[in-house]
Each structure stands twice: as structure tokens, then as C-alpha cells.
Homo-oligomer: A and B are copies of this chain.
Amino acid sequence: MLPPPIPSPPPGRATIADVAREAGVHASTVSRALNPATRGMVTEAVALRVTEVADRLGWRPSAVAAGLRTRKSRTIGILVPDLINPIFPPILHAVETVMAARGYATLVANTDNDPAREALLIERMATHLVDGLMLASAAAGTGALALCARFGIPAVLINRRMPQGADCAATSAVTNDDRHGIGLAVDHLVALGHRRIAHLAGPEGVSTATDRRTGFLDRLRHHGLEPAGLVPAAAYTREAGQVAMAALLAGPPFTAVAVANDMLCLGVYDAVEAAGRRVAADVSVTGFNDMPFVDRIHPGLTTVRIQHDAMGRQAAEILLAEMADPALPRRDIRLVPELVIRASTRPPQEPA
């Protein structure tokens, strides 16, 4: 008595062919039975049997094999300039949640604000056949959009737009209304009585920096004021914030500073202390983003809250829609931010 022939499931995972053999049908039938979209093409009884066998054999689809045939990897990529900046994780989380719910995996990469690295990463993503790309790293002079176009990868910008570039209209973007947002900060400072207000701007070439800067100037002039100082930071980092603030402090006097983002504010606090002055008491500070925990720094930062979650969600939905139908008209969404008043802003100290 020979033992019955062993179905041999041991080596590797079961394939559609294994299931077909076991269920006594053709591989194509298995494929149709297992794919929800085509399941209707197959008799209910067959579908049931195939599903049962597939389960028993522990069959798992191979996204790679399917992707080769269909040219879709069920994967999207997301490029972030700097994951360490706490505003990105919440955005990423929202994007990933929406994508995961639709069956997409998310390839994440840090560009570290380096255009060369960004290009390399896009190439690699193209190699991996991502179905779409979410770019949080837009900046002037980047070839990112051109690369996406070349590879035919649908892309959506998030948080940052292309700074008045030529190809703006060609790509959807979900960003904050930065000009409006910084205006809220200016209004607040003016209402407190400040007249000499400086701006610590973001790095050149990034839309959040340029928009907040022009928004700052516009709103200030709306109040009949001129900036008491304006220095751009080299990057959106704490260190760059400290350096830029030190430069501002070395210039003409001011009683308040509207800073381009919260990360810079940490450096601003450092610089103010290093100069022997006090935030709020001597100089009012406003931030931008309301990133996590800035309510707990001292003094609590008055800042402009953005809608991280809505941003990620909407961008994800738009990307999915454009992946499904590339002919869809492009969209340019501006989310409206709100001012959160804490302890870093006070009426100006009258000069003795």
C-alpha cells in the first residue's frame, strides 16, 4: 500500500495553479473565482469550491505576478522632505489609512530636502511601478513633476505647491491657505497693539515660505504697516530658526515676530533666550502648523493650526480618483487654517 500522493504544499506558497489542480478546474477559472470583480463570471458552486480549496492550501495572491500582467502594483509612493518634522507623520498617517482601506500599500521615502535624492527616489518608485505618487517635497527647481510625467505616474502635491511654476495647473495640490493663515497671525499681533513686527521666513523656493511671506507683507500693509525686519531661514529646522532669529535680533528693533513655522520657533526660543530676552514678555512670537506638543513648550506657542488629517485624506482621495481616471480635471484645494492663541503673544512692552 503506497501512501496516497502528497499534494506537496511544502515548498513556497501555493499558486493559482495548485488551487486549480486541487479543485479540478482551470487556472483561469480560479483567477476569476478569486477576484471579487470577476467572481460573477463563474458558477456559485465553483466559486465556493475554489475559495474553499484556496483557503485550505493557504493561497495568497502574488501582487507581483498580478502587477506584471496588469501593470498596476497596488502601491503608491509618498515623498516627504523630512519625516522628523512632526507635521508630516499625521499627514502620512491619514494618507496611509485611506490607501490601506482601498488595498494600497504605501512606499515612504525621505528626500532630506535634496533634489538629487528626490529624483533618485522617484526613479526607484517608478521601477517599483507605483500606481501614484504623493509629493510633500515640492520646491522650486525640482524635476519631480517632470519625472512623474515622463514615467506616466499620476501625482498629487501635498502641503507644498509648486511656487508659481509653469506646470502648476498640470498637477493637483492640497495645501493650506498659507496667505490667509499668516494673515490671522498678523491680525492678532496688530490687535494686541504691535506696530513693529518682523517676519522670520521659510527657505527660498518653497511655496509655504513664499506664500506666508507675501501673505505677511500684504496683511501688514493692509494695516498700514511696514515690516520691521525680514530674514529667511536656510531650512525648516530648529537650528536654522535660531540662526535667522539671531540675525533678526541683531537688526532694527521689533516687538513681535511672525515665524513661518513651528519648527523654526523652537530655534527662535533658543535665540531669544541666548540674547537674554524673554519670549512673550519682550518679544511676541507666532508659529505656523500647530505641530504636536507646541502647547507644552514654554511659553505655549500661539500658532496657526492646519488640518493635517483632512489634508492627507483629501489628497489621497484625489490621487485615487486621478489614478482611476487620468483625464480628470486637476484640483487645487486650499484648506483654511485657524489661529490658536496661547502664551507666546502679549501686548507690546512700552519702551520705558
Contacts and interface: CB of A to CB of B under 8 A. Distances in A.
Interface of A: 12-13, 58, 60-65, 67-68, 71, 73-75, 83-84, 86, 88-90, 92-93, 96-97, 100, 103, 105-110, 121, 123-129, 150-152, 266, 269, 292-293, 296-299
A120 to B, nearest CB: 8
A152 B12 CA distance: 8
A96 B109 contact: yes
B292 A86 contact: yes
Given A93-B84, A106-B108, A75 B296 contact: no
B108 A60 contact: no
**Nearest 5 pairs between A and B by C-beta?**
A298-B298, A108-B108, A296-B297, A83-B89, A63-B127
Given A63-B129, A96-B109, 18 more contacts: A13-B151, A58-B150, A60-B126, A64-B128, A65-B68, A68-B68, A83-B89, A83-B93, A93-B110, A96-B110, A105-B109, A106-B108, A107-B107, A107-B108, A296-B297, A296-B298, A298-B298, A298-B299
A83 B92 contact: yes
A242 B97 CA distance: 27
Contacts of A12: 71, 152
B128 A105 contact: yes
Contact of A293 (B68, B129, B151, B266): B266
Contacts of A151: 13, 60
Nearest to A61: B127
